[in-house]
Amino acid sequence: MYKDIVNSLLPADDLHWCEEDKKYISLSKEEIDEIVSSCWKQGIKELKDVYKVIEWCGRMRVGNLLWKNFVSGAILISFLDENGEPNFTTRKEDNEN
């Protein structure tokens, strides 16, 4: 789901191009380096734990971008799932239905 959100709902201008993976991602290489450095400084040194923090930061950034685009009217909430989480749609998709 995370990949679908990044690729279909968020403008490329809000994302970072990853040359290695040939796709847009939520965090820049510099941001990831800062996260790794912060983890290290705080004693989080296990690779699996650092990776979890990077994933969390990426989800938080995507969440912030979704919020920003929702309140600006760029995307719409199509429904709330069983956990009360919003499912987003683009204005284009909404107009086609």
Contact of 31 with 53, CB cutoff 8 Å: no
Return d(Cα 78, Cα 81) in angstroms, integer. 10
pLDDT one-digit tens code per residue, 49-63? 999 999 999 999 999
Which residues, including other chains, have CB under 8 Å from residue 57's CB and lie 6 or more apart? 27, 31, 35
Cα 82 to Cα 27: distance, rounded to the nearest angstrom: 29
- 43 has pLDDT over 90: yes
pTM of the model: 0.79
Instruction: Residue 90: give the domain boundaries.
Output: 2-96
Inter-CA distances, 26 with 50, 53, 83, Å: 17, 14, 24
Q: How many domains does the chain have?
A: 1
| 91 or 30: which leads in pLDDT | 30
pLDDT value at residue 9:
83
